């Protein structure tokens, strides 16, 4: 009996060793850390002393047991087709590997099943055309890659399939062609970019095809003549730029061709005499700028040519005595400004010239006695204010103007 037991153990040992020697492949199953019974991955492995290599099919799972990814290993490197899935089970990605690198066609999908983007890898490097899609399946963008960088024309589309832009890239930096389009497909902007900056001629267009703006860039600065047009082709703005700043004469036109604004720029800001016109070429407003601030006497006119208002500015703020006029030329109101605020004694007049209101301000707030008159000169209201608050009603109903 003892001899038989010894013989069995020896025989079992020999058989096991023979089996191990003959079988160098096995299936490796891993489980989620928190759920020992839920499989996370199944891979086929090959023992090649001293290493253990992944070799064969591979499967990866979500915690709910649904398949997450399938693929194939060849000597520890991803190989052949790999597929990735959404939790819903819908295909998310399809990509081909060769010797551990992405090589060949790949597609990514929306969960609806429509393509999201597609292209080609060569040794893990994007090469050639890559197409991007809206969730609806309509083409969103066509890109060109070389060496994993944008190289060549990139074209973008609206959700209805109409083209909205065409840009050229060199090593993922905008260089060359720059075009934008209206939803109708008509050209909207056209220019040239050099190392992310506009350079050379730039034009924008109305949807009808007429030129809207035309000028030139040097670097990112506009240089030379700058012209803006109305849709009918007549000039709207004409001036010149030097290194990104408007310099010299500025003219803006009404659509009928008459001048709307005329003045000069110095170092990019208005300076000197400026005149504004009605469409019939009569003066609407005139005055002076000093370093972008209104300075000195400014006058505004009614369409009939009579003065509408006049007064002085200091560094863009109303200062000193101002007058406002009715269209018939009679004074409508007059008084003082201090640092752009109403101050002191102000009087308002009827078109007949009779006094309408007599009042006082301090820092643009009513201060003191306010008196209102009818056109016969009779007092109809009189009140006392302190810091814009009614303190005493002397006669009639308060008027707060």
Q: Could you give the CA distance from residue 86 to residue 64 in angstroms, rounded to a whole number? A: 12
- Lowest pLDDT segment from 5-14, 222-231, 330-339: 5-14
Residue from 62, 56, 118, 116 nearest 86 by CA: 62
Tens-place pLDDT, residues 286-315? 999 999 999 999 999 999 999 999 999 999
Contact 144, 129 (CB under 8 A): yes
The pLDDT value recorded for residue 154 is 98
SS3 sequence of 178-227: EEEECCCCCEEEEEEEECCEECEEEEEECCCCCEEEEEEEECCEEEEEEE
| Helix %, strand %, coil % of the chain (to 5) | 5, 65, 30
pLDDT beyond 70 at 398? no
For the chain, what is the total number of helices (H) and then of strands (E)? 1, 35
Ordered by start, the domain boundaries in the chain are 292-401
Kindly state the average pLDDT of the residues 232-248. Answer: 96
Over range 76-99, report the average pLDDT. 96
Of 62-66, 118-122, 187-191, 393-397, give the lowest mean pLDDT range: 393-397
Please name the residue ranges forming H helices in 50-202: none
Contacts of 349 by beta carbon, 8 Å cutoff, 6+ apart:
326, 330, 331, 332, 333, 355, 356
Quote the pLDDT of residue 20.
38
User: Does 76 score more than 90 pLDDT?
Assistant: yes
Average pLDDT for 269-294: 97
The whole-chain average pLDDT of the chain stands at 91
In this prediction, residue 21 carries a pLDDT of 39
Average pLDDT over residues 278-289: 97
Percentage of the chain surpassing pLDDT 70? Answer: 93
* 292-401 belongs to CATH 1.10.287: no
pLDDT(129) > 70: yes
pLDDT at 59: 97
What is the band of 164 on the pLDDT scale with cuts at 50, 70, 90?
very high
Mean pLDDT of 1-20: 31
pLDDT number for residue 124: 95
Give burial (CB, 10 Å; 0-12/13-18/19+) of 98: middle
How far apart CA 87 and CA 65 sit, in angstroms, is: 10
Residue 258 has pLDDT above 60, yes or no: yes
Backbone angles phi, psi at 201, to 5 degrees: -70, 135
**pLDDT interval class at 397 (50, 70, 90):** low
Question: Which pLDDT band, with edges at 50, 70 and 90, does 49 fall under?
Answer: confident
pLDDT of residue 195: 86
- What is the model's pLDDT at position 331? 98
pLDDT of residue 35: 66
Going by pLDDT thresholds of 50, 70 and 90, the confidence category of residue 401 is very low
How does strand 317-325 pair with strand 331-338?
antiparallel
Q: Which two tokens stand for residue 117?
A: 């983007």
């Amino acid at each position: 009996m003892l001899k038989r037991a010894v013989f069995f153990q020896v025989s079992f040992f020999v058989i096991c060793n023979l089996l191990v020697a003959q079988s160098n492949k096995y299936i490796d199953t891993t489980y989620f850390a928190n759920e020992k019974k839920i499989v996370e991955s199944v891979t086929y492995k090959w023992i090649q002393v001293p290493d253990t290599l992944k070799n064969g099919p591979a499967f990866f799972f979500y915690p709910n047991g649904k398949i997450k990814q399938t693929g194939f290993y060849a000597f520890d490197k991803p190989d052949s087709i790999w597929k990735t899935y959404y939790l819903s089970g819908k295909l998310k990605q399809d990509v081909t590997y060769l010797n551990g690198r992405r090589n060949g066609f790949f597609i990514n999908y929306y969960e609806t099943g429509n393509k999201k983007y597609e292209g080609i890898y060569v040794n893990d490097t994007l090469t050639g055309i890559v197409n991007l899609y809206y969730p609806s399946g309509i083409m969103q963008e066509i890109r060109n890659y070389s060496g994993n960088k944008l190289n060549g024309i990139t074209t973008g589309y609206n959700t209805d399939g109409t083209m909205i832009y065409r840009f050229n890239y060199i090593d993922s930096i905008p260089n060359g062609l720059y075009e934008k389009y209206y939803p109708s497909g008509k050209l909207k902007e056209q220019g040239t970019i050099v190392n992310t900056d506009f350079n050379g001629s730039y034009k924008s267009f109305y949807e009808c095809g007429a030129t809207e703006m035309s000028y030139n860039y040097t670097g990112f600065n506009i240089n030379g003549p700058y012209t803006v047009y109305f849709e009918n082709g007549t000039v709207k703005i004409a001036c010149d730029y030097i290194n990104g700043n408007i310099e010299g004469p500025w003219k803006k036109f009404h659509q009928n061709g008459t001048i709307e604004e005329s003045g000069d720029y110095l170092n990019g800001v208005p300076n000197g005499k400026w005149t504004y016109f009605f469409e019939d070429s009569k003066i609407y407003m005139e005055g002076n700028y000093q370093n972008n601030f209104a300075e000195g006497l400014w006058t505004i006119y009614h369409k009939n040519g009579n003065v509408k208002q006049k007064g002085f500015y200091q560094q863009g703020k109303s200062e000193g005595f101002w007058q406002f006029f009715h269209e018939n030329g009679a004074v409508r109101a007059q008084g003082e400004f201090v640092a752009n605020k109403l101050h002191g004694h102000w009087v308002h007049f009827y078109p007949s010239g009779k006094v309408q209101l007599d009042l006082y301000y301090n820092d643009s707030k009513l201060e003191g006695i306010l008196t209102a008159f009818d056109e016969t000169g009779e007092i109809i209201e009189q009140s006392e204010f302190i810091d814009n608050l009614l303190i005493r009603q002397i006669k009639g109903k308060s008027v707060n103007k």
